[in-house]
Amino acid sequence: MNKKSLTLIGLGPMGQAMVNTYLDNGYSVTVWNRTAAKAEPLVARGAVLAPTVEEALAANELVVLSLTDYDAVYAVLEPAVGSLSGKAIANLTSDTPEKAREAAAWAAKHGAKHLTGGVQVPPPLIGKPGSSTYYSGPKDVFDAHEEALKVLTEVDHRGEDAGLAAMYYQAQMTIFWTSMLSFYQALALGQANGVTAQDMLPYAKMQFAMMPHFLDLYAQHVDRGSYPGDVDRLAMGAASIDHVTHTHADAGVNTTLLDAVSAIFHAGMDKGFAENSFSSLIEILKKQAG
Ligand code: NDP
């Protein structure tokens, strides 16, 4: 089998960027997509459009999946399970760790190996330096296909558990979505005061640039399970988040996000953490015993 050869199923923006990157790097790529027309520009560049999923699977040992979610994975692969035996599936589809574990067991039942992948960058950064993807699943399968996977992004194998890559990915997306909403919240406050997003931008960037300092400090608190209030006290933080929330309410801005944040601060206060650092809020957020 040609080493620089693979099958890629799913031609949304991400799958298309991946196929283009493989073609740029001299790979033979067989593609399949539910909406076959999306393959046309790729076929014009040298990709081969398989007429059926079975033929797409038969073409190569390595099969990269880039689908919306794992329901789409089963919708595509269930009718073709007879062609899965011996395949290495690099499933770069986003979903939950539990779904990834189920899919790995499902693939094994049909004689295929499953690597879970969590791509950390948007389509334009595929094939560009500095991009990265979390992988998890059998290390020998990862090692066997690392060279091909590294064409897309840098790779970071997090462990054998199929769910791990999805967990890291969803943890990262937790930070991304909530941080971006905090940015929009600040912009909404600016707008209500006649300040444009462009005017707010340098100050927002300054705030984000300061965040690594806080991450370093508070990660130590969380791992130690001790939250000394020597630099900040939760009581101060709770008063501050009230000032923030009231500022937005007074400006007529939606406070749904801030009300949720405020509720967590006040749950910490109710637990008696007033004199601890606000890192003590991990005690509210974390999985509770029992
Ligand atoms: P899209 O949802 O735009 O497209 C994914 C593909 O899934 C399409 O080829 C679509 O086929 C196919 N699909 C969806 N449902 C079905 C179904 N029921 N049966 C058959 N095929 C189906 O996703 P993206 O390309 O943007 O992303 C792919 C994956 O990468 C996602 O899991 C996403 O979360 C992840 N990701 C995306 C990023 C991004 O910025 N786009 C960034 C990082 C990760 P059809 O063309 O026929 O509709």
- Distance from the alpha carbon of residue 201 to the mean position of ligand 1, in angstroms: 31
- What is the reported pLDDT for 46? 97
Mean pLDDT of 278-284: 98
Q: What is the CATH number of domain 196-285?
A: 1.10.1040.10
- Distance from the alpha carbon of residue 67 to the mean position of ligand 1, in angstroms: 4
pTM for the complete prediction? 0.92
Nearest CA to ligand 1 atom 42: 122
- The model's pLDDT over 151-160, given as tens digits with 9 standing for 90+, comes to 999 999 999 9
pLDDT at 2 over 50: no
Mean pLDDT of the chain: 97
- Distance from the alpha carbon of residue 120 to the mean position of ligand 1, in angstroms: 15
Nearest CA to ligand 1 atom 15: 72
Determine if ligand 1 sits within 6 Å of the CB of residue 173. Answer: no
- What is the reported pLDDT for 289? 85
Mean pLDDT of 262-269: 98
Mean pLDDT of 138-166: 98
SS (H, E, C) the chain: CCCCEEEEECCCHHHHHHHHHHHHCCCEEEEECCCHHHHHHHHHCCCEECCCHHHHHHHCCEEEECCCCHHHHHHHHHHHHHHCCCCEEEECCCCCHHHHHHHHHHHHHCCCEEEEEEECCCHHHCCCCCCEEEEECCHHHHHHHHHHHCCCCEEEECCCCHHHHHHHHHHHHHHHHHHHHHHHHHHHHHHHCCCCHHHHHHHHHHHHHHHHHHHHHHHHHHHHCCCCCCCCCHHHHHHHHHHHHHHHHHCCCCCHHHHHHHHHHHHHHHCCCCCCCHHHHHHHHCCCCC
Nearest CA to ligand 1 atom 46: 35
Mean pLDDT of 20-35: 98
- What is the reported pLDDT for 290? 74
- Distance from the alpha carbon of residue 59 to the mean position of ligand 1, in angstroms: 22
Mutation choice for ligand 1 from 21, 38, 53, 68, CB with most ligand atoms inside 8 A = 68
Instruction: Establish whether domains 5-160 and 196-285 are of one fold.
Output: no
- What is the reported pLDDT for 1? 45
- The model's pLDDT over 44-69, given as tens digits with 9 standing for 90+, comes to 999 999 999 999 999 999 999 999 99
- Give the nearest ligand 1 atom to 34 CA: 47
pLDDT at 25 over 90: yes
Complex ipTM more than 0.85, yes or no:
yes
Residue spans of the domains in the chain: they are 5-160, 196-285
- The model's pLDDT over 179-231, given as tens digits with 9 standing for 90+, comes to 999 999 999 999 999 999 999 999 999 999 999 999 999 999 999 999 999 99
Fold entry, domain 5-160: Rossmann fold (3.40.50)
- What is the reported pLDDT for 202? 98
Mutation choice for ligand 1 from 18, 67, 173, CB with most ligand atoms inside 8 A = 67
- Distance from the alpha carbon of residue 24 to the mean position of ligand 1, in angstroms: 22
Nearest CA to ligand 1 atom 12: 67
- The model's pLDDT over 82-102, given as tens digits with 9 standing for 90+, comes to 999 999 999 999 999 999 999
